[in-house]
Structure 1
Amino acid sequence: MKHNRVTELPEDFWIPIQLDTDNITAFSPFLVPQDHLASSSLFYAMAAYMFFVFTVGTTINLLTIACTIQYKKLRSHLNYILVNLALGNLLVSVVGSFTSLCTFANKYFIFGPLSCKIEGFMVTLGGMVSLWSLAVIAFERWLVICKPLGNFVFKPDHAIACCAFTWVFALIASAPPLFGWSRYIPEGLQCSCGPDWYTTNNKYNNESYVMFLFCFCFAVPLTTIIFCYTQLLITLKMAAKAQAESASTQKAEREVTRMVVIMVVGFLVCWTPYTSFALWVVNNRGQPFDLRFATIPAVFSKSSAVYNPVIYVLLNKQFRSCMMKMLGMGGGEDEESSTQSVTEVSKVGPA
C-alpha cells in the first residue's frame, strides 16, 4: 500500500494518508486500529515475531546476567562488556518488543502519546548501548590480542569505564528528541515508536538528527568493528603461519574467523535495512513509500536482542558451559572461550 504524502495531524504525530482522505483525525494511531494501513494478517505476523523476540531475547539476556552473578570465573573484563551488552539488549526486548507485541496485536498504539515517547526513548537508549558495546568488544579484542599499545593491560577498571561510556553516549544520542531535536512518534504501521525520520516538519530539524545518528551511532561503530576485527584476523594469520604445525593454533584461527564473519554480518543484517531506509526517506522527501518498508526494518532491528547474545555469549564455550550448569543440563569441566584461546595464540605469534 503506497501513500502519496505526509499530513500533519492536530496531535503530536504524523501519519501517511491518502490524498482523498478528508477526516484525518479518524486515523489517530493512539485511538483506533490502523486497518487502513495494512491487512490484519501483517499486524498479527508482526505481533508473533515480537513475541518471539521478547521471549527468547529476555530469557537469553537474563541468563547471561544471572550466570555472571553466580559464577565468579565469568567476571573477567571481557565478560563485563558482555553483561553490559545484555543489559542493553534486555532494555530493547522488555520495553520495545513487549510494547510492540501488545500494539501490533491491537493494531494501534494502545498506550497513548506519553508512552510512545517513553518507549521510543528506552528502545533507542538500549539500542545505542548495544551498538556501542559491540564496538567496545571489538576494541577490547584488538587491544588484548593485537597489542597496539605494547604491554598495556586491559583491566576490569578499563572495562567498567568503557561500559559507562556506552551509557553516557547512548543518553547523549537518545535524549535530544525529548527536548525538541527531532521527536519520538509512531513509525511505519504506527504500532512502534522511534525518532521522527520521515516527516518534513522543519521545526524539529529531523534531517540533522538522522544524520547525527547515522554518523555516530552506525558508521562509527561499524567502522570500529571492521577495523578491529580486520587487524585481529591479520594477527591470527601471522600467528598461525608461524605455528603451521600447531593444530590448536589453526583451530583457533578458524573459530575466530567464523565468529568475526558472523558478528559483522549480524550487525549489518539487523541495522543496515533500518538505517538505509531512514536515510533514503530523508534524502527523498515527498517520494511515496510502502509503509511495510518502514515497519519491517524497525521491527527487525529489535532482533539484535536475540542475535547479540547468541553470537557473543552462546558461542563462548565458558559462558555456554555455565549456562548449561545453571539449567542443570551439564556437569563437565568449563572450557575456555574461543576468544581466550585466541589471546593465547597471539602471545606466541610474531612480534
Structure 2
Amino acid sequence: MAEADPRIDESETTAATEKGTPEGSDTKQEKRRKRKKLVLMILMPLLILAGIGWYWLSLQGKVSTDNAYVKQDSVSITAEITGPIAEVFVKEGDQVKAGDPLFRIDPEPYRIALEDANAALAEAQANVTALASDADLSGTDISAAREDIAFAQSRFERQQALWERGFTTKADYDAARHSVQQARESLKAAQARQSEARARLAQGAAAPGRNPRIAAAEARKAKAELDLRRTSITAPLSGQVAQAARLQVGQMALTGLPMLEIVGQESTYVEANFKETQLDELQPGQPVRIGFDAYPGLELKGHVVSIGAGTGSEFSVLPAQNASGNWVKVTQRVPVRIAIDEDSPRKLIAGQSVEVTVRTED
C-alpha cells in the first residue's frame, strides 16, 4: 500500500487543486450574470408594455387638462359723478358686505345744486299760481271789448242815419266807423291774450296732470337728489377689496374711472380650457376632481356646469383671420365652467392654476 503509484496521487491532487482555484468560481459568476441579463432583457419590455397598458387603461373614462384657473366674479367700482374723494372707509384686502360704505365724494357742490333745484321748483309753482289768477285768463277784457263793440256799432249806426240825411259831417261819420273797427280789434287782442294764458297753464301729454314748468323743476330736483346720494359709494356685493391704489383722500374721482375691485368670495368656480378634440365625451353634470398647484395634496370635488359657446380665439379682442396662404391648423380651446361642490380648507384666489379631471364614464 505504501508503494502506491505516485502518478495517480498527483492527478487526483491536480484535479482537486483545479476545482478550488478562483478561475472556476469566476466562470460560474459570469454564467449567472448572463442569465440575469437575459431575464432583464425579456422582463423590461414586458414591464414597459404593462406600464403603458396600465396608464392607457387608467385614462379611459377620464378627460383632464392643466389649462384651468380659479375664477371669481368681480365688480369694478366706478364713480357715477365727478368730484374729489373726501373720505375712504376701506383699504386693500378688506372684507366687505353688500351695502357697506366704500368711499365718499365731497357732497357740498351737489348739496348746493339741490338747494338751487328747490328754489327753481318754488319759482315754477309761484309762476303757475300767478298765471292762474291772471286777468287775461278770467275773460274780463273780452267782455269789455264786446261791450265796446256794441256801443261803437250803435253810435256808428246813428251817424250813418244822420249822414244819409245830411245832418252830420264826414269826419264824425268816419270816426264812428273807425271806433267800431278798433273795438273789434280790441276783442281779438283780448281773446289772443286769453289763449296765451291758457297755453301757459296747459298740461302736456308727456306729463299729464302737471304743469310743464313744475314738471321740469321737479325733474331737476330729482337729478340733484340722485347726484347727492351718489356721493356715497357702497359695495354692491360681498367680497374682498382689491386694486384700491387710486382710493386716496383728495384723489379726483371721474365718471367711469375704476377706483377699486370687489372680488366675490361666494361665486368661486373653475374655468378649464379643454381641447376641442376632448369635447366629444364632455357633458354638463359630470363629476370633476380638482387639484391645486398652490396646495399640493388638496383635491376638491366639482361638476361640469356648462360648455362654452365659442372658442377662446373666437371671443378674443382680435380674432384670428385664417384666410391666408400660410394657414396652419391649430387645435382650439373651449372654456368649460366647473362648479366647486365643497368648501375648501384653504383660501382660493382668483387666477390660481388648477388641474381638473372629468370622469366622463359617470
TM-score range (shorter-chain normalised) is under 0.3
More strand, by proportion: 2
User: TM-score, normalization: structure 1?
Assistant: 0.20
User: TM-score, normalization: structure 2?
Assistant: 0.19
Q: Which has the higher contact order (CA 8 A, sep 6+)?
A: 2
